[in-house]
Amino acid sequence: MAPEERIAALKKAPSNSWVAFSEDESRLVAYAATYEEAVSEAQGRGVADPVLVKVPEDWAVRVMSA
């Protein structure tokens, strides 16, 4: 998946949701409200081992430290 495609897929996702991509991350598979729903939807669409992304509340730039 090209960087622009990944950006578009992530920015379309609702805030605080989860996005599932295919095993090789070449394709968007599902949007879901929870981790469990995202896994379930991906597996229901034939993607046994999806890659999940937790979508933040917004896309503000954050300094990654805790």
Query: Which residues make up the interface to another protein (CB under 8 A)?
Result: 3-4, 6-7, 10-11, 20, 34-36, 39, 42, 49-54, 56-66
Say if strands 28-32 and 51-54 run parallel, antiparallel, or are unpaired.
unpaired
Spatial separation of the C-alpha atoms in residues 20 and 8, rounded to whole Å: 14
Shortest Å, Cβ 26 to another protein: 13
Which of 46, 58 has the CB closer to another protein?
58
The DSSP 8-state label assigned to residue 16 in this structure reads T
Shortest Å, Cβ 28 to another protein: 14
Which of 46, 61 has the CB closer to another protein?
61
Query: Smallest Cα–Cα separation from 52: which of 33, 37, 39, 65?
Result: 39
